[in-house]
Structures are given as structure tokens and as C-alpha cells.
Amino acid sequence: MSALRDLVAEGGVAVLSGAGLSTESGIPDYRGPTGAARTYAPMTYQTFTRDAAARRRYWARSHVGWQVIGRAAPNAGHQAVAALQRAGLVDAVLTQNVDGLHQAAGARDVVELHGNIDRVVCLGCGQTTPRGDLDQRLRAANPTFAALAAAVNPDGDADLDDAAVAVFRPVDCARCRSGVLKPDVVFFGESVPPERVDRCFAAVGAARLLLVLGSSLTVMSGRRFVLRAAKLGIPVAIVNQGPTRGDAYATIKVDAPLGTALQALAHSLRSSVP
């Protein structure tokens, strides 16, 4: 932690966060100690757009999962990142998470690599609306729906039995009346918008330190930024519970709960952090 403090104290930090940062807010990750193992394959963009039954299944699960994601509050880790940014030590916040908790904690100009589940987009007319509005419409369309989730995943997808899914009624776009609604997140089989990836690469390239928080770096979506930092000779510091696929590139690795570690880091830099 002292070595990490010395690196962060010099500023120019780009943060890359993953699901492990949000576990202390009650949102399980996929692969860490609090992970919720999927009992089914994740939704793909191709299946979602082509199969009405698959969309019904997704929205039933996501409607239940939203009751957890939508109530989640930033934890000490999110607050520490925002404090370090206010102090001028963190220049960029890049996140693989779709929960919006960085912004809720006060972080600015967050690049949401995979989007935000708080927004819904119509694939017909392109209108984007708040998830809270859709939640009200789904409640009105399903007044007796009271399914309980066995587990909720970081993307808000919940495990439900087939009987609960069968009685759920999804809704279409309220503006064009026929457009398919999709959460404004990147599904499996869907590409991250190139301009978003470019922003992340630019932030990493301009950084003096890449600080990875709560990501196993299992998928290339996040690991590519660690590889870019290593190629450019930019130090990489990782704070995560358990091993990651970026450990070989790390100058510093801290294996600890994120909230505790980041709160201690911010506290140790209290002369710089307002």
C-alpha cells in the first residue's frame, strides 16, 4: 500500500474499474469471492434482436434485477476514486461497470465502456429514456408480477424460473409504439462503439499510472488497456481480490477488499484530497 500511495501521489492516474469495485454496494461480481455464477448463457445481441421469447426472458429477469441495481449506492471505493479525482490525482475514470455508481459518488467525465443500465434505447426510433420510466411502465403492465430472484448479476440480469418468465409482459417504445427496447449496454456479440474505445486508449496513453480496480481482466475488453499501458512503459497497479490476467504486467498488486484499500489510500493522501 505504501508503494501504491507513492505512485498515486504523483498524479496522472487513469482508473480502470470492474465489477469487484461494486460488490460492497451489494452487486455481486462474476469471478470474485462474492461472485454469482450464471446458471445460463448470457444474452447476446443477436438473440435479443431476433427472438421475442428471449426478449421476454431478458426483460423479466432484468426487471427483477433492477430492483437491486437501481437501489445500489456508492461504497467507500467509489467515494475514494471521486475524492482522488477532486484532488487532481486521477485524470480519467474508465469503467467496465454499467451501474453508474462512479457518477453517483461524484466522479466526473466517466467513460462507461459497456454503457449504463440506467438508460434504455429504442432500436426503432433511437429514443433514449431513463430506466426508471421503463420500470414504471413494466410495473403497470405486470401488476401481479412478484417473482423473486435466486441471484442477481453485475449487469442486472437475475435468475428466474421459467414459470415466472412465462407470465411476464414486456412493453415496446412509448414514442414510436412498436420499437424494441434495449438497455443502453453492450451485449455479448455487440461491439463497443469505436469512439468509446479510442477515448479509453487516449486516456491510458496520456496517463502516468494505470490503476486497475476490481477487475479480473479475464476478457479482452478491459485487458487490452493493461496491454497498451505495458507496451508504452506506463506502470500498472492492480487492486483486486484474487488473481487477474493482468498480474504479469503489474508493477504493484494489492490483494484486498476494494473499499478498505481505497479508503486507506485516500486517507493516506488526505493532505491532497479535499
Consult the annotation and say whether 99 binds a ligand: yes
**What is the mean predicted confidence (pLDDT) over 262-269?**
95
Angle made by CA atoms 124, 128, 132, in degrees to the nearest 5: 120
Distance CA 7, CA 23 (A): 25
Judge whether 96 is annotated as a binding position. yes
Amino acid identity for residue 103 in this structure? Q
Give residue 90's Cα distance to chain centre: 19
Known catalytic residue: 114?
yes
Q: How far is CA 192 from CA 96, 113, 184, 202, in A?
A: 11, 7, 11, 15
Question: Is 79 labelled as part of a ligand binding site?
Answer: no
Alpha helices in 39-173 (DSSP H): 45-50, 52-69, 76-86, 101-104, 131-141, 162-166
Supply the pLDDT for residue 131: 96
* Mean pLDDT value across residues 129-144: 95
| DSSP 8-state assignment for residue 39 | S
pLDDT > 80? residue 31: no
Q: Domain limits of the chain?
A: 2-268
As given in the structure block, the three cell numbers for residue 44 are 447476446
Is 125 marked within a binding site?
A: yes
The pLDDT tens digits for 215-227 are 999 999 999 999 9
The answer to whether the beta carbons of residues 115 and 193 sit under 8 Å apart is: no
According to the annotation, is 259 in a ligand binding site?
no
Residue 213, helix vs strand vs coil: strand
State the Cα–Cα distance between residues 41 and 190, nearest whole angstrom. Answer: 15
Percent of the chain predicted with pLDDT > 90: 81
**Does position 32 have pLDDT exceeding 60, yes or no?**
no
Cα-only R_g, the chain: 19
The answer to the question of whether 247 is labelled as a binding residue is no
The pLDDT score that the predictor gives to residue 82 is 98
144-156 pLDDT, tens per residue? 887 655 567 766 6
Q: What is the mean pLDDT of residues 91-117?
A: 97
Query: What pLDDT shows up at residue 213?
Result: 98
Catalytic residue among 63, 78, 102, 114: 114
Please report which helix (H) or strand (E) contains residue 128, including its range.
Answer: strand 128-130
For the stretch 108-122, pLDDT in tens is 999 999 999 999 999
Nearest to 87 by CA among 104, 67, 107: 107
pLDDT at residue 30, as a whole number = 64
106 grid coordinates: 461524484
37-84 pLDDT per residue, tens: 445 577 899 999 999 999 999 999 999 889 888 999 999 999 999 999
Residue type, 189: G
CA distances from 78 to 2, 25, 236, 254 (A): 20, 10, 19, 17
Q: Biggest alpha carbon distance in the chain?
A: 57
CATH number 3.40.50.170 is the correct assignment for the domain at 2-268: no
136 belongs to an annotated ligand binding site = no
Calpha distance 114→184 (Å, rounded) = 8
Q: What is the mean pLDDT of residues 133-150?
A: 84
Alpha carbon of residue 223 to chain centroid: 15
Model confidence at 158: pLDDT above 90: no
> Using 50, 70 and 90 to split pLDDT, how confident is the model at 35?
very low
The annotation status of 191 as a binding-site residue, yes or no, is: no
